Amino acid sequence: MDIAEFLLYVFTATLGGMSLCSANDLVTIFVASKYFSSCSYLLSGYTKKDVHRSNEATM
């Protein structure tokens, strides 16, 4: 596993969650939820050792 890629996903998901908590505008809520959900989606299938479970989690 590439640690830099993993940490980038975790950092971006954290940044999106923090932005979502402090949002005052509807556009900010939408953008922050997109950041948070897309990084959470990528992190759910990040384990590449077990390809079957990884693909199933991502789908």
> How far does Cα 4 stand from its chain's mean position?
14
Q: Where are the domains of the chain?
A: 15-47
* Model confidence pLDDT, tens digit, residues 37-55: 888 888 877 776 776 667 7
**13: pLDDT strictly greater than 70:** yes
CA distances from 9 to 3, 6, 31, 35, 55 (A): 10, 5, 16, 10, 17
**19: pLDDT strictly greater than 80:** yes
For tokens 């384990």, the residue is 47
**1: pLDDT strictly greater than 70:** no
User: What percent of the chain has pLDDT above 90?
Assistant: 17
pLDDT of residue 27: 92
